Amino acid sequence: MANILVVDDREDKLLALDSILADLGENVVKAKSGREALRYLLRNDFAVILLDVNMPGLNGFETAKLIRSRARSESTPIIFVTSLSDSERNIAEGYALGAVDYMLTPIVPEILKTKVGVFVELYRKTAKVKEQAAQLQQIIVEQKSAQHEIHNLNQELEARVVDLSAMNKELETVTYSLAHDLRAPLRSMQSFAHMLLEDYSEKLDQQGREFARRITESSKRMDTLLEDILSYSLLTHTEFEHNSIDLEEIVAGVIDQLDRDVKEKNAEVNVEHPLDNVIAHRATMQQVLLNLIGNALKFVPAERTPSIRIWTQKRNSRVRISIQDNGIGIAQYQERIFGLFERLHSNDDYPGTGVGLAIVRKGVERMGGRFGLDSKEGTGSCFWLELPKAEGENC
């Protein structure tokens, strides 16, 4: 309910105004003098003030002046009530004092109700806008505090990332040293086992020879693993120089390296010439392709003849290199296989260390490229990597 203040020194007029305004259903507060009105205004907010001009003591204008001088009521609408005979002089003065309207006596009830109703409506709308503004302000304050919190969390996270990167680097250094230092004792184990088989073969019985053979085999596997770990670690430590790479030459070199395997499996390797050149780190590129083509040869069912297709496609400023095989394919966990030591097959089915694709991932990332694969279980996989196109290559 909104408050309406009616100020008149005459009780009968106050009652008349009250009964007219009762229809509006608001709270009508009656004051018999300017002073009494000011007391009400000290403690309450009003939608509108109906102020009689002719009052003993503080008249309407003096009361209006005092109402306007207080912060709480400086903009409360005032309607002066004046008689027709005084209207000309009073209306001008009333407006000068900040009146928003005036009413002439005798009052016409409908006009009074309409005018007061308009101010009550305005008061309600203003209150609503104020409330919404306060809510908005609250939201802004909350958002600012949330932003502040996010900023702090981000800073904390950044600090943690720095710490973690340092720890990671340290770990990789330890891994590198370990892999490096383990090779010497392993070599000596390998050569002693070899000597046992070569020079003491006759002194050993069948089981002794089998044990020595197993030592040789296991140490060979361990050597491959250490070599892979070293290659992986080196990718972090080496400073890369990126150059224009002749992909034809690199691919030919890699296929040459795999020649024995290709021949043994009677594999078909189709390179679709010409291959587009890329910007890359030469040794890393060799290693990446060796792993991908090696896997394409390896992960093929024994009864199937491996068939590999290698080609490039220009994609805006990049070149996509694809290696497709007709192997066993990959059903799920496609992302996972690029993680270190992640394997989907046992060593008995397909020998390996689980480092090859981790090298591919790290190598391609360090060369500023992207990688991925499309694969269907049973029918084969197509691994791809994208690298910046070498200059001078046309789209």
Binding site for ligand ADP (CB under 6 A): 291, 295-296, 299, 325, 327-330, 337, 342-345, 352-358, 381
For ligand ADP, which is the closer residue by CB, 237 or 376? 376
Q: How far is the CB of 365 from ligand ADP (least distance, A)?
A: 15
For ligand ADP, which is the closer residue by CB, 29 or 358? 358
Beta strands in the chain (DSSP E): 3-7, 27-31, 48-52, 78-83, 101-105, 243-245, 268-271, 278-280, 307-315, 318-324, 370-376, 380-388
The radius of gyration of the chain from alpha carbons, rounded to an integer in Å, stands at 46
**Torsional sign, CA 196, 200, 205, 209:** positive
For ligand ADP, which is the closer residue by CB, 14 or 230? 230
> In this structure, how many other beta carbons lie within 10 angstroms of the beta carbon of residue 250?
22
Q: How far is the CB of 289 from ligand ADP (least distance, A)?
A: 12
Closest CA to 34 of 79, 69, 65: 65
Q: How far is the CB of 306 from ligand ADP (least distance, A)?
A: 10
**Block residue for tokens 């290559």:** 393
Using CB positions, name the residue nearest to ligand ADP: 352
Q: How far is the CB of 187 from ligand ADP (least distance, A)?
A: 22
For ligand ADP, which is the closer residue by CB, 262 or 328? 328
Peptide bond into 106 cis (omega under 30): yes
Six token digits for residue 122:
């305005």
Q: How far is the CB of 373 from ligand ADP (least distance, A)?
A: 8
Determine the Cα–Cα distance for residues 175 and 172; give it in Å rounded to an integer. 5
For ligand ADP, which is the closer residue by CB, 46 or 338? 338
Q: How far is the CB of 224 from ligand ADP (least distance, A)?
A: 9
For ligand ADP, which is the closer residue by CB, 61 or 299? 299
